[in-house]
Each structure stands twice: as C-alpha cells, then as structure tokens.
Structure 1
C-alpha cells in the first residue's frame, strides 16, 4: 500500500514539475515573441527572426497552438521585409491554417493581410486585393480598428500599384483618419507616406512632399527605420520630378544607407535604381550605370530565390524599370552591344529557366504541370536549376550565325523603341524606331497598343479595348481604293523603315523578329510598305521568337528529337459541349474545318479525328507519339482552372464532367517529342503579355518539348486555312524549311480570288525552330473553296461578312455596279437583304468564296443582331460610305438613300 502511495505521489509530483516547467517555458516563449516584435518595429529584421524562431520551437514543444501561429505569422513578416517572399508566403499559409483551426478570427485576419502584402511584393496585385478584402471584412466584423486601418491602407497601396490613384487616395484617407483616431502612430506614418506617393503619381509633387515630410518626421520619432528609409526614397523621387536633382540624390543616398543597415534588399535595390535614374537625368552616366547594375543584381537575386515560376514572372514586372534605364544609359554611351545584352537579360527569364529544366533535365514531364499548380515547384532545400540567363553579345552573334538568319530585337524604352539587327555574319547594328509618324498623329508610345489593335480592325478583325468594348475604326484608317491600309503602313514606317537597308535582299533569307510587350500583337507579315504597297511577307521570310535565348534552346532541343517519331495527328471540328455554344462563348461548329482536316490528313497519309471522336482524352493520348500535330478547332483565351495561364483548345466532351477543353495547364503535363505543332484555331497565338513573353498556349507547347509551333493571331477562316495549310505541308515536302514553306503558303492564299485580305492569309506565325522537315506527302488537288452559305449563318452575319469582304478585299473591283443592284428598300428585313446578297454572289465565285471565309471567321462568337427596322437604313449607309471610299460615281437622285430626320 505504501509503495502504491509513494508511486502516485511521484507521478503527481512529475506532473506538477512539468506544469511549472510549461509555465516557465511559455513565459520564455512569450518574452521572445515580444522581443521579436520590438526588434521588428525597429527594423532589426534578422534579430527578430532569431527571437521568433526560438519562440516557435518552444511553443511547438509545449503545444501552444496560438503561440505557434503568432510566431509563424511574424516570421513571415520578417522574411517579407528581407525580400524572401516565397518563404514568407509559406509561413503565412501555415499560420493561417492554425488560426482557422483554433478559431482565432483576429489571427486569421492578420494572416490574410500579411499574405496580401507578400503577393503585393510579387506584383500580383489582384491576388493581394482579394486577401486584403477578406482581412477588412473580418476586422470590421470583430471591431478591430487597427486591423481595419491596416487593411484599408493595404488596399490603397495595391490600387496605387494598379494605377488607380483616386481609388487609392480614398482608401488611404480612411486609413489615416482611423490611425489618428486610435493613436496608431506607425499606421499614421505609413498612410501619410502612401498618400504622398499617390499624389506624386498624379504629378502633384508639392502635395506629395508635404505628406512625405510628415511621414519622415513620425518615422524618426518612433524609431521606424524602414519607414524612414522609405520616406527618404519617396522624397528623392518627388524632388527628381521637380528637377532638383542634387536634393534628390542626397535623399536617395540616405535611403540607401538605411536600407543596407537594416537588410532591406528590396529597399536597397529601389534606392540604387532611383539613384541611377537621377544620375541619368544629370548626364552622370558612369555613376548611373554603376548604380543600375547593382540594383539589377539584387533584383535578380531576389527573383532567383523564388521557386514558383508564376511568382518569378510577376515580380519581374515590378523590376523592369531597372532594365529599361540601364539600356538607356548604355545607349547614351554608345555601348550598343552591351545594351543588347541587357535587353536579352530583361526578357523571358522565367521562360528560359523553366525551358532549360524541362528540356535538359530528366524526370520532369508530367510533374511540371502539378508543380505549377502548387505554390512551390520544388522545396526550399532543392532549389530549381538556374539556367545561364545572361547571354553575351558574342553568344548572340554565334546564335545568328548558326541560324543563318537576320535577327531583329525590339525593346520598348518609353518614349523610344530601340532596335538591334544581328546579321547572319554576326555583325550587330543599332537603330531607333521612327516615331515621327506617331507624332504627326499627335500620338505617343502610350497609344501604340491601340494603334496595333486598330491595324487589325482595319483588315476586318474584331478587337476589344481594355473595357471589353468593340473597337471602332476612324474612317481615315480604313483601306482606301488603292488597297492601302494606313495603319499597316504606319507600323511599317515605325518598325521596319529604320532598318530596311539592313534586311536581306533575297526573299528566302530568314528574318526572325523578337518583339517586346505589345509588339507581339503586330501582324508582321501584313505590314505594308508605303512606297509600293507591298506586304512584308512578299519580300521576306518571317518567323518570331520570344527571345534570342529561347530561339537557341528550341534549336538545341530539335537536334535531340529530330526523327524520333514519324506519325501525324490531325484533328478537325470536334463537336462542342453545349456550354460552349451558349453565352458567353457562342461557338459554332465549323464544317469547313472538318474538310480542311480531312484534306490535310490525306496529304499526311493518316486519318483525321473529327466530331465526337476528337475527345480530350483521345487527343492527349495520341499526341504523345507523333512527329506532327495539326489541330483545327476553336481556341479560347480563358484561364480555365485558374492556373494563371490563359488559353484552351476546345475538343469534344467525353462525359458530363469533361467539357473537352484542353487547358494550357494540361499541355504542361505532357512530355512531347513532336517536331512541330500547328494550332489552326482562333487566337492561339495570343495570351497574357508580360516581360517574360506571351503566356499562353504557344509557350506551353514549347515548354512541353515542341521546338516549332505555328499559332494564329486571329481566326482567319477555315476555307483560307485549308488552302494555306495544305500548301504549307506540300511546300515542306518540296524541301522548303518551315519558315519558307509558311511564306509561300501565305502568298499562294493571298493570290486566291476573294482571299487577298491580310485577314485571310496573315494570321499564322511560326515560333521557334525553322529547319526543314522532310515529308512524303500524298499529292492532292485543291478543291474549289466555295459552297452555299452555311444554314447556321444568320442574315445579319451574311450582311456583316459581305461588308467585311467589301472593305478589305480587291475582289469587288470589277463589280462596282453592285452598289445599285443591292441597294435595300426601306422595308427590307435582314433576311431579305441576305437573300439578295446570296443570289447576287451565285455567279461570282471569288466574292462567294470570300464571304464564306468571313462567315467562318465569325465562328467564334458570331455577330450581333439588329432590329429589322434599322437594317435597311444601315445597309444603305454602309453602301454609300464604301461608294465614296472606292471613288465610284455618286448615285443618281432617284437611287440615293433618303435623308434622315
């Protein structure tokens, strides 16, 4: 009995000792947690890290979940301040999970806000806004005024980054009011600073300086060193804008010193960038170059520490100013070759790294897509392979020599565009774009995207602006009666005329364009020489690449896979899931695409997969072992699955849960050894335009292992696509390389009556490898490309197709009398006018063919219908407008349109 009592007493004493030890350990953990907060508020980030790591260890040992969550969240904040955003996100996600598990609403709110700030640092502003909105909702729900102030301030900062300055100011004024109300001095200081930066962005520099001086005063008063550095840097920017350069330099140097002292690498890079910019303004070019190089190196280090490629792309968009400024400084010193190196260094960095990983390492394949869906592509202990991303000018010259091509690289350095021409012998020439035509129109480079989109509208392609509104074309930019397209000529003058003397004289010599940002949307084959009206493709063999290094990597890869496969895969007109036939897609079957696929399949000696057989599962399986894949189907720019990569090819559904869409992320799951993939679908060459190139379908196929991809910048119509693509494959069989085969196919299509508009032949672009592709094709005769108008076409679509052809083609030149023959009566409905057009076209094969192709181009979404009472009036108005444009005789008084009241 005594032994039992003795044992129980010993156990109870052990429990009590553990209890006392737990209390002691918790007290120590709490002390370390608070010490870390104190250190962090003084911008002693590394010291704070040590305190919080020790606190985290203890909290985990004693099972204190709230303490663990607090430590994780604070560690995330410290790593964010040190520029290690990937690590910060990982800690915040762990903290958020625990806060939700234990039901801590305050902690959940704080974690959401911290995640928002981390994504903000990565340049992912919409993601950040979503987190901040959640933070704000919880803060208001639980009555946390400080949390409300922080979330409002974070939202203001995000909207300022998006250029929505007044929205930002509204949020920041609310933040400032709450911070002052509750005596939150650091929040007040940050609000004042962010307001100053917003007013600086609006050009109200003195207002900005007043706010920033208040920020600086409070930051110094409370010992907030990071805030002091930020306010000094912002003051430097404001004084730079006022032309007080020495004052600006003094502020930037003070900011730089503090950023280095506290270990704020992002702040250090920003200060160096700002110093470089101010030195450039004062023509101190050597000092500017030194500071900008140092800034670039820090930014590249920050980027290299990220393991998620989407994060690498987005953070680069926040870093581009340094690359642009450095190019400007180098060009000012006539260091043109070095500037080209920086131009290359400042594009497709994540693309190059990922392509190197996928093509030249083993066991990647299907894992790549899964990695991209997750926050990290590899663990922190196993960082991704770092590619050699810094090409020297000598290496660039060697690539041009190996390609036997003239490479043209553009770099938009607002308010200028730099152009480098690397000749096949390795010689490098530097030119500037000719911006005088823009100035004559009272336009600047800020208007370039609008001009490019309008140039596409001028050839009959529907485009929408940033607000989703259909872009309308001014009359002076429409095709004239001599077949001239003013905007295609304008782009030629800007981009081609300055380098025309450097382009090869032989039309079969390759010219490789390396566009930049919105220049990826330029239809280079269709650019029109103002001197003689010729198109660029008539005189040159054209292809594109995202960067010179991507061009080189695809060439290397092609050497490894050449000849591995021989089979061909041809897909045409899959049936559509009902959801794609309804709003907002309104896709239609494309019978001509089926015929085109069958013709191409016969030529390649295989069988086309069409209709209900062309399912996603079948195609993803069949594409793995083919040399050539040709897919003629609808394409969409949607980001299905929120992968961050827009683009999808719409194939046949296989079940109620499978809509048939091959998403961009699905392509990344493949390991392909195809030598070429042709995406004969609408807009497969478009996507999200970034400094890392266009993120979309073409990029995904290249990353999946395809060295050559042919994509379209718009839907060119199944009839013309059939002619062009059958010619393309036959040209390959004749021994032409891929670029030459595409060029001659374009010219053949352009020569076809009714298909002479650039919209009908200039949509396709070849990306990547251009080496010849030996084929044994079956000889086929081109069938007549005409057919009755599809019964699926609405009367309004027939009318719109008629006018699109009229406004973009030469085919009407012998039929000017049609103006009188087709004039509508006031009571005519759309159906009656459409029947009149169809009957009139019966013996005019070129016009019938052209209208049919325009109807095919409308397959992706159709066109808007109009009330019958408006149709006749609008039809006659458009006839009259085109009569004037074509310079035909005016109508007689009896046949003119009626006056409108």
Structure 2
C-alpha cells in the first residue's frame, strides 16, 4: 500500500440511529436542537464529508455549551479538526487531542471514543507507530459500545498502519476483512476507502494493471452513492497507475481534474500528493522543468504541515532527478533533507532503503566510494529487515521488485570497483530468494492441509464452471478474488533468510566444462557475470530497455514461426558471444533477469547455427538455488518410486475445457483441442524408465487421483496436460486435470497448491503450454516452474509458448529415451537437436527449457523392466494439431 494516507473515513456515531434517520433532517430540520445537529453532522462525517460537517458541528458545540453539556460540546469541538487538519502541522493537533483525553468531559464513553478516532486519523498521516496503538483502543471501545461497523473500520486502519510499519501479512488480513465487511454489510464509504487502500498498495508495488480494478471500484461506488466524499486516495492512485502503464495523457487529465477539486477545498496533503504524482508523469515524458517545479512545490507544502512521509518520498524523487541532470550538490542537499524527515517517523522504513541508495549513488559520482559502500550496505540490510515480515512468495517478490534499484545500484558500484565476489553476493540476496528459502525448509515443514477457505475456492470454481449466465459469473469471479484474499498465509516470518551461496561455493559446484552466466539488467547499462570453476569476470551489456525490447521482439518472431535472424544474432552477440568463457565451455547455466526469463536462448543465432548446436543450455532461478539443488540431488533417495505420468485430455470437447477455465479468470475465446498423442507420450516415457510406473489417462486423470498418490516418493513426474497462465494473478496459474463428478476438487492444480506439495522428484516435466511464462521481476519469475521447485523438485522441464502436439510427443519420446544414458540437460538438448535436424524450425523445439539442476542421470545404472500400471479412461486415437494453452 502507498505510504500516503488521505483523510480517513471514521466517526463514532451510532450506526443504527444514523441509518434510521438519514432522511429525517431533510424533512424536519431543527437548527436549534444540538442533538439533531450532531446526528446530521455525524451522518456527513460517516461518509467522509468532514468539511461539510464542520459548520454543523460548530453550531452544535455552541448549543451544547449553552445547555451546559461539556461532554457533548467537546465531542462536537474535536470533530471539527478534520476539516482543517491539513492546513497546519500534525504534531500540535495530536498533542492537543491527547490533552483533551485528560479532561473530565472525556470520561463520557462516546466523547472519549470520538477523540481517539480523530487522533488516530491524524496519527495515520503522521506516525504509523502511534496510530497502531490508538486504533487498537478505538476497536476495543467500539465493540464494548456495540459500534460494530466502526470496529471493522478501526481494524482496517490498523491494517494500514501495519503496512507502513512493514507488517505486510497483518496489513493484508486486516484491510481485506474491513473491505469485506464494508462490501457485504453495506458501508459504502468504508468500501471506497479500503478498495482504495488495496489498490494503492498494488500501485506502490508497481502492480499497475491489478490496481485498476479495486481503484475503479472505489471511484464507481463513490460516484454512485449519494453523500460519499470524493475518492481522493483512489483517484491519486489511479493517476499513478495510468502513468506506470504509459497512459500519460489520461493520467495528466485525471491529475488536473483532481487538482482543481482539492485546491478548491485547500486540502494541502492531497495537493502535495497530486503534485508528486504529476511530477512523476512529467519526468517520464521528459518534461524535467515541470517535474522539478511540481516536486519542489510538493516539498514546500510538506514542510508547512510537517508531512514527514510525503517529504521523504518526494525528496527522494527530486534528488534522483537532480542526480540524473548532473546537479549533484542539489541532489545531495535534497536527499539529506528526505533522510532527515525519516528520523521523525523512525518506525516507517519502506522508503528509507531507496533514499539511502540514492545518496550512495550521488556520493559515488562525487568520488566518495567508501561512504557510498557503507550507505548501500545499510540500504540492503534494511530491505532484509522488511523481507523478514513478508508473508508469502508473492509479497516477497513484489517487495524486492519495488526496491530493485537498491540491489542494481549496489551491484553496479561494486562491479565498478572490481569487487566481483561482493557484487555476486548482493545480487544473489534478491535472486530466487523464496525458492532458496523453500528448499531449506521443504523437508522440515509438513504440507498444510486444505483449509475451509481452500475448500470454498473449490466450490466457487465449480459453481463458475456450471453457470453460463454472465451476471452470475461476474459475481462469482468477484467472490473468488475476495476469498483468495483471506487464504491463510504460508508465512515466511520467523525463518532465517538463507545466506546466498558464496562465489567460491558456487565455483566448486560447477563442472570442468560448465559456465554460469548471471544477468543484471539496469539503466544506463547492464551486466553479465560469467563464472567458471576457476574465474569470474563481468561484461558490460546494453541498457535494460534495449535488451528487453529486442528479447520480446525475438520471442514473438519465433512464436510466429518467422525467426528474425538479425535480432537473434545481435542478442546472441550481446548476451553470449562477447563472453570468452562461453566459447571455452560446452555447458551453460543461465540466470536470467527481467524479460530474459522468456527468451529462447537455445534459438539465438551463432552465425549460421543456433546456440543449441554447440552448447547445452539450462536455467536456474539464481546461483544460490543452483547450489541448493545440487546438494539435494546428491541426497536423492534411489529407492523411491520411479515414474508417474498423467494425460487427461486424450479425448475431450473444447467447450469442456473452456468451462473449467472460467473457474480461474472468466470466459475465454480459445482453441482448445483434444491431445490424443499425450497418451502415447506418457506411456512411452513410462516404458523407457524403471518400473513400476503409474499412469493416469483420460477420465481417470483427475486432480483427486493425482493428489492421492504418494507424490513425495516419485523420482519423475510427467504431466502432459493443458495449462493455464494468469500473468495478473500468478497464484491462479494452473495445470488442468480431467473434470470430476463428485466435485471434491475443481480440476485446477494451481500455483498456490503446488507450492504446498512436498516432492522428492529429480525431474518434473510440464508438457503443457506456457508453463515457463509468468511475471518477472528483480526476484526472478513467478510461474508453475518455480512453484514446483518451491515444492521440492530438483529440475523442471517447461515451455515458453504453446505446443504442437505431434512434434511435442516426438521430442518427449526421444527425451525419455535419452535419459537412460544422459544427464537431464543433455537428454533434452539431444531431443531438440533431433527435431532441428529433421527440419523442424525453432518454434517446435526452442520452447522447451530445463530449469534447476541440469546434471546427473535420473536413474543411474538401471535397466527398465517391461511392465507398467495404467489407469485409463476413454482415449480418442485420431491425430490432432496444436497443443494450445
């Protein structure tokens, strides 16, 4: 969630009384009755109309004083503070409210509750540590006084404060609960706030596409509910999201409209927020003067009202802009002011690592290398502190991605100083971090059984499968999203983050003819670290934007079966050809970054040949994960069961599969077809491997049958299925099994379920489309492959685009035949080369890649017998074309 918190929505009026009398003051106004006036003002404040409510509260205060009711007069007095809270410093206002709590009139329960609410709102904008304590007390008092909707709002405010303090797990749970209460029990103002806050959090983590849905919901509810205040948080966050998506004109139009609205009401913090966001858009569109002016104006307002959080956020942005312009003294002065502002709210750490790294970069440019290194290390340590509270893999990846400039900047600085071992350690702190943590704990932690929320998701997915009504499906899809937000956290908190592998350890893991190439993409330059058993060297690459654009273009051309030889040659030269160690070693382990995760390295042009013709290529999430997988491979239990193969879609109507996928992300217009050759694929693989094997075909290839197997005992899992990839919600990506009659499972083995498995497999083959695809960031890629590695697999064969059924079966048949005598990576390479030599273009073979440990025979010294166990449903034997997603 964003650090900026706009004026909150809470008040302490009695909910029942408000709902029953909402229209009464319009019909029978009683301007001399202070009780009626107070009720009217509370109704307005409950909808966040604090400015409109202020004069009504003031009139009520005077009348209560005349009636000698000091408790009610104090209630009305403090309620007026929110209307003017942004025109002066928060500190004296908070102190004044604390003094009010000591007054005899504050012994009245309603008055005490109101004072605490107003103080909590101010503290949320000022100091999240103070706000946490206040909102906890508000929640307790509200429940005692039967103000249950207010208690729910207080819980949501605790969640906002928790996020600002780095407790992402607690924040998500509390904000989501408050949102659900507001949505389903009819509190539109609170629904607007918590949908806004949720969307703002996604914006802070650069999940712009995902953020637009809750932000648009907040804006829609506010615009269609009479009396609800202008949705300032949602509007500001949507402007930022549109800017992040490159929709600059839309963003500027919305920003200018919002600016006119908040300026008319003299809302200083809202103005400052909009100035900062608009400055960012100006900066992206290379309007440096306008950006500088807006940043400086935002800082001036922040100083006036002691908006420490705004000062540290905006100051960092302005300092970075000055540094880019070469104004180093201005940059240093500005970033020092921002860091100083952070001292006023020392518990809030989110922006401090970024600001320290900006200062470190400035000092490095000024020649103060020692000071720069110290600050970079402090910023990296602070990120480790934030990550210690990350509840899930997704949150951890998002935090690392949002702070990637710290890692990239430190790495760049150390490389410039030729401290390559230290540079390797820094970048490994981010790469594949969750996979490494999972591998260290996978044996110790038992799998979590399905919770009630998991079971509810299954029921919702099945309900979506069984309805064709668009309105009903839209409701169920929303319920799926709400339910996912309440999934129990598979918390990483309390684990000690693994130490990254040292450069020396990694070098000892490499074979005599192996090279590991780790990429770091950044602007204005990128790097490749080339590591062998005896040496490490770094090589300069073009800027991140250049490499990623060319990588995306080349992948698209291969997918269209029209590979662009010129782009392939250029990428090869940049990424591999200019590395002398590449030419001297036959086996390459690649640690990609950003869009390179989706690049078919095997199909890059090395002159008239492809890279795969001279080298064996494999991928690893990080050097640390490579090291841990090597250790686990050495400890493989040779007595485990050899093989399980699954092929569900040997015969199925396309509409059946489409209906199943509606349980994931709504209706799809797809070209799903039966996969009759998948039967031959899994049976042939089973025949090539030791026995007894287990094979599930057709109608028997259900999710329940698969999960009931002793999966931790199999060495090889081969899943020839349809796959579904959700780039927006990666935990929803799934392998699609046959439908079930009893509805025990929904047929979707999703990423969130795969992570909870406790596998012991040397090899998992995902013979489905796009299984290697997913959102990529500084922490790596989030997809089905990494989920299987998290679950305990040593190696995973995956795909980068849709498959063609016949050539896939041919490749897989050769791959498993090769496994009898070759390492995993070599077996895959030789199977790919067989297709290449038979005249198949890169589209048919370059999609496949091996992720994880590429070495060792899966079944060393084994002679496979001839029997297998087959559980078979109906099989259609006609030939088919593509094996689409």
TM-score normalised by the shorter chain: which range applies?
0.7 to 0.9
Between the aligned partners of 1:100 and 1:629, the Cα distance in structure 2 is 43
Q: Is the Cα contact below 8 Å between 2:726 and 2:774 reproduced in 1?
A: no
Report the counterpart of residue 527 of structure 1 in structure 2. Answer: 604
Between the aligned partners of 1:229 and 1:615, the Cα distance in structure 2 is 53
State the Cα distance separating 1:122 from its structure 2 match: 3.7
> Following superposition of structure 1 onto structure 2, how do residues 345-384 of structure 1 map, counting pairs within 5 Å?
345-357=429-441, 359-364=442-447, 366=449, 373=484, 378=489, 383-384=493-494
Q: Is the Cα contact below 8 Å between 1:574 and 1:652 reproduced in 2?
A: no
Between the aligned partners of 1:417 and 1:609, the Cα distance in structure 2 is 47
Change (3 A) 1:717 1:256: same
Q: Is the Cα contact below 8 Å between 2:650 and 2:677 reproduced in 1?
A: no
State the Cα distance separating 1:498 from its structure 2 match: 1.6
Change (3 A) 1:568 1:274: same
Pair 1:63-2:138 in alignment: no
State the Cα distance separating 1:179 from its structure 2 match: 0.8
Q: Is the Cα contact below 8 Å between 1:279 and 1:288 reproduced in 2?
A: yes
> Following superposition of structure 1 onto structure 2, how do residues 98-117 of structure 1 map, counting pairs within 5 Å?
98-99=181-182, 103-117=186-200
State the Cα distance separating 1:145 from its structure 2 match: 7.1
Change (3 A) 1:504 1:242: closer
Between the aligned partners of 2:422 and 2:146, the Cα distance in structure 1 is 57
Q: Is the Cα contact below 8 Å between 1:570 and 1:631 reproduced in 2?
A: yes
Pair 1:549-2:633 in alignment: no
Report the counterpart of residue 865 of structure 1 in structure 2. Answer: none
Change (3 A) 1:352 1:376: farther
Q: Is the Cα contact below 8 Å between 2:772 and 2:798 reproduced in 1?
A: yes
Between the aligned partners of 2:141 and 2:766, the Cα distance in structure 1 is 58
Between the aligned partners of 1:663 and 1:121, the Cα distance in structure 2 is 26
Between the aligned partners of 1:40 and 1:588, the Cα distance in structure 2 is 54
State the Cα distance separating 1:586 from its structure 2 match: 1.1
> Following superposition of structure 1 onto structure 2, how do residues 714-725 of structure 1 map, counting pairs within 5 Å?
714-715=801-802, 717-725=804-812
Between the aligned partners of 2:383 and 2:256, the Cα distance in structure 1 is 32
SS at match of 1:630: strand
Pair 1:764-2:839 in alignment: no
Report the counterpart of residue 490 of structure 1 in structure 2. Answer: 570
Report the counterpart of residue 748 of structure 1 in structure 2. Answer: 834
SS at match of 2:772: coil
Between the aligned partners of 1:454 and 1:127, the Cα distance in structure 2 is 25
Pair 1:586-2:671 in alignment: yes
Q: Is the Cα contact below 8 Å between 2:803 and 2:884 reproduced in 1?
A: no
Change (3 A) 1:761 1:129: closer
Q: Is the Cα contact below 8 Å between 1:205 and 1:241 reproduced in 2?
A: no
Select which of 356, 362, 376 maps to 1:292: 376
- Between the two proteins, the alignment pairs up a number of residues equal to 728
SS at match of 2:190: helix
Q: Is the Cα contact below 8 Å between 1:646 and 1:697 reproduced in 2?
A: no
Between the aligned partners of 1:130 and 1:53, the Cα distance in structure 2 is 30
Report the counterpart of residue 715 of structure 2 in structure 1. Answer: 627
After superposition, the C-alpha distances for 1:742-783 in whole angstroms (9 at most, x for unaligned) are 23333334333x34x333443322222222122323699xxx
After superposition, the C-alpha distances for 1:774-819 in whole angstroms (9 at most, x for unaligned) are 2323699xxxxxxxxx9877xxxxxxxxxxxxxxxxxxxxxxxxxx
SS at match of 1:176: helix
SS at match of 1:563: coil
Report the counterpart of residue 455 of structure 1 in structure 2. Answer: 554
Q: Is the Cα contact below 8 Å between 2:805 and 2:883 reproduced in 1?
A: no
> Following superposition of structure 1 onto structure 2, how do residues 652-667 of structure 1 map, counting pairs within 5 Å?
652-655=738-741, 660-667=747-754
After superposition, the C-alpha distances for 1:275-296 in whole angstroms (9 at most, x for unaligned) are 2233344444333333222222
State the Cα distance separating 1:667 from its structure 2 match: 2.8
Report the counterpart of residue 410 of structure 1 in structure 2. Answer: 519
Report the counterpart of residue 258 of structure 1 in structure 2. Answer: 341
Change (3 A) 1:413 1:189: closer
State the Cα distance separating 1:379 from its structure 2 match: 8.5
Change (3 A) 1:239 1:487: closer
Select which of 775, 785, 793 maps to 1:688: 775
State the Cα distance separating 1:651 from its structure 2 match: 3.5
After superposition, the C-alpha distances for 1:290-329 in whole angstroms (9 at most, x for unaligned) are 3222222222322221213221112221111111111111
Q: Is the Cα contact below 8 Å between 2:548 and 2:594 reproduced in 1?
A: no
> Following superposition of structure 1 onto structure 2, how do residues 425-574 of structure 1 map, counting pairs within 5 Å?
425=534, 427-433=535-541, 435=542, 445-459=544-558, 461-462=559-560, 478=564, 485-505=565-585, 507=586, 510-530=587-607, 533-572=608-647, 573-574=649-650
Q: Is the Cα contact below 8 Å between 2:313 and 2:338 reproduced in 1?
A: yes
Q: Is the Cα contact below 8 Å between 1:255 and 1:271 reproduced in 2?
A: yes
Between the aligned partners of 1:611 and 1:96, the Cα distance in structure 2 is 42
Q: Unpaired runs of 5+ in structure 2?
A: 1-71, 73-103, 456-482, 659-667, 868-876
State the Cα distance separating 1:40 from its structure 2 match: 4.2
Q: Is the Cα contact below 8 Å between 2:751 and 2:783 reproduced in 1?
A: yes
Q: Is the Cα contact below 8 Å between 1:576 and 1:653 reproduced in 2?
A: no
Between the aligned partners of 1:608 and 1:230, the Cα distance in structure 2 is 57
Between the aligned partners of 1:76 and 1:664, the Cα distance in structure 2 is 26
State the Cα distance separating 1:374 from its structure 2 match: 5.4
Report the counterpart of residue 759 of structure 2 in structure 1. Answer: 672
Q: Is the Cα contact below 8 Å between 1:273 and 1:322 reproduced in 2?
A: yes
Report the counterpart of residue 688 of structure 2 in structure 1. Answer: 603
State the Cα distance separating 1:216 from its structure 2 match: 2.6
Change (3 A) 1:668 1:445: closer
Select which of 490, 506, 509 maps to 1:399: 509
Select which of 314, 324, 337 maps to 2:398: 314
SS at match of 1:574: coil
Between the aligned partners of 1:571 and 1:655, the Cα distance in structure 2 is 18
Report the counterpart of residue 256 of structure 2 in structure 1. Answer: 173
After superposition, the C-alpha distances for 1:568-616 in whole angstroms (9 at most, x for unaligned) are 2233453235425666221222333333333333333557543333333
Change (3 A) 1:648 1:690: same
Higher RCO (Cα < 8 Å, 6 or more apart): 2
Change (3 A) 1:203 1:766: same
Q: Is the Cα contact below 8 Å between 1:709 and 1:767 reproduced in 2?
A: yes
Q: Is the Cα contact below 8 Å between 1:646 and 1:695 reproduced in 2?
A: no
SS at match of 2:574: helix
> Following superposition of structure 1 onto structure 2, how do residues 15-30 of structure 1 map, counting pairs within 5 Å?
24-30=108-114
RMSD: 3.4
TM-score normalised to the size of structure 2?
Answer: 0.75
After superposition, the C-alpha distances for 1:719-753 in whole angstroms (9 at most, x for unaligned) are 4434433333333323x22222223333334333x
Report the counterpart of residue 249 of structure 1 in structure 2. Answer: 332
State the Cα distance separating 1:707 from its structure 2 match: 1.0
Change (3 A) 1:139 1:746: closer
Report the counterpart of residue 187 of structure 1 in structure 2. Answer: 270
Q: Is the Cα contact below 8 Å between 1:85 and 1:118 reproduced in 2?
A: no
Between the aligned partners of 2:515 and 2:450, the Cα distance in structure 1 is 37
SS at match of 2:350: helix
Select which of 646, 649, 652 maps to 1:576: 652
Change (3 A) 1:378 1:691: same
State the Cα distance separating 1:39 from its structure 2 match: 4.0
Change (3 A) 1:228 1:297: same
Between the aligned partners of 1:729 and 1:227, the Cα distance in structure 2 is 59
Between the aligned partners of 2:771 and 2:122, the Cα distance in structure 1 is 54
Between the aligned partners of 1:152 and 1:115, the Cα distance in structure 2 is 13
Report the counterpart of residue 385 of structure 1 in structure 2. Answer: 495
Select which of 724, 731, 734 maps to 1:636: 724
Report the counterpart of residue 199 of structure 1 in structure 2. Answer: 282
Between the aligned partners of 1:391 and 1:759, the Cα distance in structure 2 is 36
State the Cα distance separating 1:370 from its structure 2 match: 5.6
The answer to which of 490-499 and 227-236 deviates more is: 227-236
Change (3 A) 1:737 1:206: same
Report the counterpart of residue 138 of structure 1 in structure 2. Answer: 221
Between the aligned partners of 1:685 and 1:230, the Cα distance in structure 2 is 36
SS at match of 1:387: coil
Report the counterpart of residue 645 of structure 1 in structure 2. Answer: 731
After superposition, the C-alpha distances for 1:72-109 in whole angstroms (9 at most, x for unaligned) are 34333333333433333333334445545764332332
Q: Is the Cα contact below 8 Å between 1:649 and 1:661 reproduced in 2?
A: yes
